Amino acid sequence: MSEATNESTKVEVPTNRLYLADRQVREIKDEIDTIERSVSSPNAKLQDKHSAHKQLRALRADMEKQMAPETTPEQRDQLAKDERELRQKIVEAMPSQEEMRKCPPGAIGKEVRFQKTFKTKIIQWKNTIRMLEAGNDDPDVSNLEKFRPKASTLNMDNAIIQGKQYFIPPDTEQYKANYDRTFNVGTETEKRIEELEKHLEYLLANAEATPVVHDILSAKCGKECKGGFGLRAHERQCKKCKELVASPSVEDVVEGN
């Protein structure tokens, strides 16, 4: 695969391989230091030294080949411009955070097309960032996820992971000014709520002092009961009332004749 070349500054940015990240460079350097110390040890065997020197040459060659090259200020200006333009093109085509999380219809195809179309451009962007940010130990310095868009362009109605839809009102002066009217929470409403709360407090404070009046009803057996509930409760328990209900009265016999 070819490499993209900036003609004005002669900076070659690979599109088929990634430069080492700063963390990877440190790891290789630490490994080289460890091997060099072991080789310089008086207890190291000749055979081990030969193998160590061979490994050192391989590590140094890999690091030299895969490390991001140094750049001049003019080259860095051009790289910064290229990075912004390249990132804008990539981010515009990226599936959104919501699409990746909820997977609505079309999300998988969109992601596959994105990866296929922008694979080389993503590598080019990462290499450009690693050239610009050489020495930056931030593990996410060349992570495109930081720029993944939030807004979705797909229909979420039949998403595999539905989630919940939230409406967050805009933080505007017009919204704040109309809040009381929109939700019926204004000065008059608050005043009415306060009056009702005071009335409720009065009723609770005087509940024990307020007598409960029941109608006095007579059962068939002659016992006086308080209210309809008391009458029905008595009739269910009273044997005499049950007998009187089962036996016809004189008035009933006369009316039957």
- For 6-42, what is each residue's pLDDT tens digit? 455 678 899 999 999 988 888 999 998 988 888 787 7
At residue 247, does pLDDT exceed 50?
Answer: yes
At residue 127, does pLDDT exceed 90?
Answer: yes
Mean predicted confidence (pLDDT) in 103-130: 90
Are the CB atoms for 97 and 148 separated by under 8 Å?
Answer: yes
φ, ψ of residue 217 in degrees (nearest 5) = -120, 145
Extents of the domains making up the chain: 70-166, 173-205, 216-248
Quote the pTM value: 0.55
Tokens of 244: 């009187």
Q: Render the burial of 45-60: b for 16+ CB within 10 Å, e for the rest.
A: eeeeeeebeeeeeeee
Identify which has the larger pLDDT, 20 or 47.
Answer: 20
Identify which has the larger pLDDT, 257 or 69.
Answer: 69
At residue 137, does pLDDT exceed 70?
Answer: yes
pLDDT tens for 160-171 read: 666 655 555 666
Identify which has the larger pLDDT, 254 or 13.
Answer: 13
Residue-level pLDDT at 238 = 86
